[in-house]
Structure 1
């Protein structure tokens, strides 16, 4: 394609660049005699019928008519701004999956279908870490049927953040009417600074199992039989620890090789702003160091201001984002 808007504005991308991270500029229309331009950076997830589809790191899908392009180029992956250890998605994704295991699972090529009686989307969604081995529409039909057999809605967990095939899947799910319901950031950090934080851990109790008081403070089990399901999911993992400041705060840790995964850090409303979450994190981090871990990860929703402030202070920075797409239930 030729230069369309001056020597510095050149379209250097083609449909052959699908799957790569790109930066494009498009014209929106005149504004007081001058054109208005909009820039978009993300993974080029499709280019068909004269329309480019770009998936941003946030998971947002942007559709751009080819006719509006004035510039475009392939760009390198975003620079790592995290202060933690280097980690690829391919390394981290299986670690995160082992830390939150379903009660049953089934393989579909490189996909894993997971179910746990509806306790959390993570344990009741497809984890697509490869090719399903069959056409996508057929794979999604099998997914929908598999979850319908268990009385569950179909979910697919995907990720964004210069990850290539994952972003392509996000766009393909969106095109097929699957709705993105929940998104969260995966953050990583060096483990030692978390363990070294100045915190009084004398009241933190560590155990290999969670009791009813712990589950009650967690508050996401629904009680009754669901508590039993939650306890089974929470107890599964390579090396699991539960922390509690009895009646006031809790946390969960899974150590898996060099990685320490933190989850379920909760503080009772009446006990907040007393440093208890920091104490729980520090106590768990020290246990993880004892088990020779060196890196930390966790997941947090973008609107959880209190948690974000805590994790920022402990050195966690965004590695990538993950999303849950919900399809139509079989009917």
Structure 2
């Protein structure tokens, strides 16, 4: 908190600081254990009618009454140095988008509208990297119309928690009634240590396509032709399988190599075979192939509530880079296809 030379707390932010990262302390009426104050750190996304809206790294939006402010200051926009390879949000957003390509897309200024018959939100949402070229109200109306014409709900994918992310857009979407349905994180790590974790290759088969055996383990059943096109898309795609007799494989995984980046997805293990190192073996085999193709850094996406995966990836050296979210338009119906992350 900002403290004056006389030792008093001071509010040193104004409406001119909207869009900046701030730290504020405010009064609370009924705090736990008699606490009188609460601290909030995030991007100041609006300050209207006596109310501040601050968007935290997690994407949570906090409303703070101006009259309750005790102290406040602008803090550096760049977060503390992270573990893992250096990268901007925009670089990772573009790399991850190329690893999960839609079957149809259209530009709205710097926004990309993406559709793939409802197979995952990643391939059926707007990627808003810049200005749509029209006022926001008009852009959102165009988005809703574009997805409605395809029988799909309208989603916008946003990000928070890193320099250059979209806290202000998140706040505007919420102000327009768009609902944040899913929050996940994009994690990064050096690639070589991941390749070293699996020891010598043992039983992991790599292929260029998601074959029938691989698909029997993939958790999204009844994969359509459109879904296969999405799964097989990307600059250099590899699928890993650990065979387990005539039935479904014991484990699978997918990796897309794109320049210096290797993106991991669909790492799944037979529930009866978990905690035996199969997920690690799959990722290590894919990482070795990515190293052979010149990659040096790794990324993956993990949902907030997947505690097992987060523990595994943390042990492998991955750390969160930013959070990302999918906002659904108000009164937009549920996806006709697979609406998962």
TM bucket (normalised to shorter chain) is over 0.9
Offset from partner CA, 1:96-148 (integer Å, 9 cap, x none): 11011000000000100000000000000000001101111111111111101
The corresponding residue for 2:233 is: 236
SS at match of 1:123: coil
SS at match of 2:298: strand
Please list, as runs of the form range in 1=range in 2, the aligned pairs for 1:254-273 lying within 5 A after superposition: 254-273=256-275
Q: Quick one: distance in 2 between partners of 1:21 and 1:56?
A: 9
SS at match of 1:254: strand
Q: Quick one: distance in 1 between partners of 2:177 and 2:197?
A: 46
Q: Quick one: distance in 2 between partners of 1:329 and 1:102?
A: 24
Q: Quick one: distance in 2 between partners of 1:30 and 1:252?
A: 49
Preserved contact between residue 115 and residue 125 of structure 2 (Cα < 8 Å) = yes
Q: In the alignment, which of 317, 321, 329 is matched to residue 327 of structure 1? A: 329
The corresponding residue for 1:312 is: 314
The alignment covers a number of residue pairs equal to 324
The corresponding residue for 2:338 is: none
Q: Quick one: distance in 2 between partners of 1:52 and 1:290?
A: 51
Residue 49 of structure 1: how far off its partner (Å): 1.5
Offset from partner CA, 1:196-253 (integer Å, 9 cap, x none): 1144532100000011221221121x41xx4322111011101110011021111000
Aligned residues: CA RMSD: 2.0
Preserved contact between residue 112 and residue 127 of structure 1 (Cα < 8 Å) = yes
4+ residue segments displaced more than 4 Å: none
Q: Quick one: distance in 2 between partners of 1:162 and 1:316?
A: 16
Please list, as runs of the form range in 1=range in 2, the aligned pairs for 1:136-215 lying within 5 A after superposition: 136-164=136-164, 166-215=166-215
SS at match of 1:105: strand
SS at match of 2:29: strand
Q: In the alignment, which of 284, 287, 309 is matched to residue 286 of structure 2? A: 284
Residue 268 of structure 1: how far off its partner (Å): 1.2
TM-score by length of 2: 0.91
Residue 323 of structure 1: how far off its partner (Å): 0.3
Q: Residue 66 and residue 310 in structure 1: after superposition, are their counterparts in 2 closer, same or farther (change >3 A)?
A: same
The corresponding residue for 2:81 is: 80
The corresponding residue for 1:58 is: 58
Preserved contact between residue 89 and residue 165 of structure 2 (Cα < 8 Å) = no
Q: Quick one: distance in 2 between partners of 1:167 and 1:37?
A: 24
Q: Quick one: distance in 2 between partners of 1:14 and 1:133?
A: 29
SS at match of 2:224: helix
Q: Quick one: distance in 2 between partners of 1:232 and 1:166?
A: 29
Q: Residue 165 and residue 159 in structure 1: after superposition, are their counterparts in 2 closer, same or farther (change >3 A)?
A: closer
| Alignment partner of 1:218 is 2:218 | yes
Offset from partner CA, 1:155-176 (integer Å, 9 cap, x none): 0000000445501011111111
The corresponding residue for 1:112 is: 112
Residue 303 of structure 1: how far off its partner (Å): 1.2
Preserved contact between residue 159 and residue 167 of structure 2 (Cα < 8 Å) = yes
Residue 15 of structure 1: how far off its partner (Å): 1.2
Residue 320 of structure 1: how far off its partner (Å): 0.3
SS at match of 2:36: strand
Preserved contact between residue 260 and residue 293 of structure 1 (Cα < 8 Å) = yes
Residue 17 of structure 1: how far off its partner (Å): 1.1
Query: Which runs of 5 or more structure 2 residues have no equivalent in the other structure?
Result: 244-248, 334-341
